[in-house]
Structure 1
């Protein structure tokens, strides 16, 4: 039993974990699609808004790196969001070549709509559990989140990459 996917008890548990994560992702993603359509957004644009919601005004290069995109593609995404009135661009006063992306009021409201929609969906699911089940799920997800957050901090704080948020 080396814990490889599908091998032994740990492998079976890993398979179940992966299946549960995929199902959770599909559940939340499918519910979000309708709301995104109402807002005239695609997944790339929504991910950009969510990134800015969590990190505040951010350099274009940092957005591209964080979202796994190339700078030209990120520029197209931001162009669409600026055109919809959801974002505004400005130059970094210390380096005019650096573009800073930030919300407009409409962009903040649109993002809050997406978040509220997700919250309502999550509450509907949680209502089906008794308190003990609910607490167990929350603790497990918080553990997963903190584990991933530790990994993400290492990626984001690489001094050789343009991934530092809010660097002005």
Structure 2
């Protein structure tokens, strides 16, 4: 949505870059080959995203110690701070929307979202 794109644009991120950085923030590092699979993009597409993240200082590349052919990408502290800022902005935005909803409807919405989240977890 427009507000989400605004948050990302303020940080200099596209959604695919944000998603890649978000994945990195959860695991710490990713093999480039796995990153492209998880993002459902081509190798050159993953390289372009990684190049941007590295250029901004949000991630760094390294070679696998066990197999020098394998390239890993790893989130930096600066990248973690970007993810935290965007996450906080999204939380604040959603909280402002929830404040406009009455308490009864808010409780109903929360129950529905909990059911939805549990269903998603079962799928994953």
2:10 is aligned with 1:38: yes
1:129 Cα deviation after fit: 2.4
1:142 Cα deviation after fit: 2.4
User: Aligned to 1:63, which of 35, 38, 41?
Assistant: 35
Matches within 5 A, 1:2-151: 29-151=1-123
Length-normalised TM-score, structure 2: 0.87
Secondary structure of the structure 2 residue equivalent to 1:101: strand
Q: Give the whole-Å Cα distance in 2 for the aligned partners of 1:100 and 1:36.
A: 24
Secondary structure of the structure 2 residue equivalent to 1:113: helix
CA RMSD of aligned residues (A): 1.6
Secondary structure of the structure 2 residue equivalent to 1:143: helix
- Relative to structure 1, the CA distance from residue 44 to residue 130 in structure 2 (aligned partners, 3 Å threshold; closer, same or farther) is same
**How many equivalent residue pairs?**
124
- Unpaired segments of 5 or more residues in structure 2? none
- Unpaired segments of 5 or more residues in structure 1? 1-28, 153-168
Task: Please say which structure displays the higher CA radius of gyration.
Answer: 1
Residues 33-79 of structure 1 deviation map (CA, whole Å, 9 limit, x = unaligned) = 12222221111111111122233322222221111112221011001
Q: Give the whole-Å Cα distance in 2 for the aligned partners of 1:149 and 1:71.
A: 29
1:88 Cα deviation after fit: 0.7
